[in-house]
Amino acid sequence: MAVSFADVTKRFADGTTALDGLNLEFELGEFVVLLGPSGSGKTTACRLLAGLEMPTEGRIEIGGTDITGLPPRFRDIGMVFQNYALYSHKSVYENIAYPLRIRKIAAAELDQRVKQVADLLQIGSYLHRRPSQLSGGQAQRVAVARALVWEPTICLMDEPLSNLDALLRLHMRTELNRLHKRLNRTFVFVTHDQEEAMTLATRIAVLKDGKLVQFDEPRAIYRQPSNRFVAEFMGRPAMNTMDGMVEDGVFRAGGVTCKVECRDGPVTLGIRPEQIGFGQIGSEDGFSLTLDVKETVEPDTLLIFANDEGTITVRTQRDCDDLAAGQPVNLRFPMEALHYFDARTGERLR
C-alpha cells in the first residue's frame, strides 16, 4: 500500500510551474517530511494530495487507486495548514468535534475522542472558548487536534508548528512522534526546520524547483547527500564545499591541501564543519588558514576562515581560548569525512 505521485506537474494559470514532473512514492504508515527552500513546491504537493488543486499532468494514487480527480471529501486525508482556518462561530470543542459529527460518530465516543486529543495537545481547558479567544499557538493546536481526531489514513501538515514558541514546539515534536507511532497513520509534514525534519521523518523528500532531489532516511540525507545542493541545504552550519583540483591524489584549493580518494582533475570537495580536525604544526596532512571570526555558542565554538575560494567554517567543542582572529590555525580534513561532487553538475561522485 503506497502513496504515489507519478510524473506530476502543476502549472498555474500565470505560467508558474510549481511542480515539474514529480515522482515520489512512499508507504502508508511513514512519516514523510517535505523539505526545501521557499517556492520549491512543498505546499503545492500537499494541496494536490489533499485534492485542493488538480495536477496539470500526471497521476496521484493511494493504495493503487487513482485519486487524481477525486474531490477532497472523498479522500481519507486530514489537513492542517499554516493558516489553520477554524470555524470562528464554533467553540474549540465543536471545532474539534466537527469531523466526527459529519461522520455521525455516537455522542459518547465523540466526547471521549475530543477530550483525549485535546488533552494530548494541552488544550483541554480551552474547550469552551471561541477561536478568537485563543493565542496563535493555541489555535494551531486546535487545528492539529481537528485533523487528528478522526484518525484519517493520511494526516497532511503544512508547517503546523510554525506559530508555536520554541519550548512548545519541542514538546509538540515529541508528541507528534509518539502519536505517529501509536496511531500507525501516514503523516506528510512540511517544514523549514531541518531539526524538526531530522527528528520526525522516517524519510525526507528534498524538493528544489518543483523536482525531487533526494528521498531518503534522515541519516542518509545527512551523511550521503546526493548532490551539492542537498549537502549545503542540510545541516547548520552548512557543509563546507570548495572547488579545486586533484593532482596525484592531493586536492588543492585556496590554502586547503588534503589527500583524497578521487581521480585527478577538477572536483568539488565537501566536509561538514564538525568533522574538520586540528592538525599538528609541520605534519604533512594539515594546512594552515588565518582565523577570521570566532563565535562561541556553548558548548560549541564556530571558527570561520576566509580564503580565496570562499569561507570555511569549523564547529568544535574544543577549548578555543588560545585562538584569536588574525592568527594562523592548523587544520586537517580527515579522508573518511570527505564528500566528492562533480565540479560541473554538482552530483555526488561516490
Enumerate binding residues for ligand ATP (CB under 6 A).
Answer: 12, 14, 16, 18, 36, 38-44
Spatial contact of 49 and 156, defined as CB atoms under 8 Å apart: yes
- Number of alpha carbons in the 13 Å side-chain half-sphere of residue 115: 6
Nearer to ligand ATP, 129 or 169 (CB): 169
State the nearest-atom distance from the C-beta of 35 to ligand ATP, in Å: 9
14 vs 308 by CB, closer to ligand ATP:
14
- Do the bridges between strand 203-208 and strand 31-35 make them parallel or antiparallel, or are there none, so unpaired? parallel
Are β-strands 186-190 and 154-158 bridged in parallel, bridged antiparallel, or unpaired?
parallel
Sheet holding 57-62, edge to edge: 17-27, 2-11, 57-62, 65-66
Query: CB of residue 212 vs ligand ATP: minimum separation in angstroms?
Result: 12
Smallest separation, CB 143 to ligand ATP (Å) = 17
Which is closer to ligand ATP, CB of 207 or CB of 312? 207
CB of 189: closest distance to ligand ATP in angstroms? 12
SS3 state of residue 199: helix
CA distances to 27, 59, 86, 96, 279 from 273, rounded to whole Å, are: 34, 41, 44, 45, 15
- What is the smallest separation between the CB atom of 70 and ligand ATP, expressed in angstroms? 20
- State the minimum distance, in angstroms, from the CB of residue 248 to ligand ATP: 44
Select 41 or 244, whichever has its Cβ closest to ligand ATP. Answer: 41
| Residue number, 11 or 259, with CB nearest to ligand ATP | 11
Residue among 290, 208, 285, 299 at smallest CA distance from 17: 208
Nearer to ligand ATP, 191 or 240 (CB): 191
Which amino acid appears at position 154 of this protein?
A: I
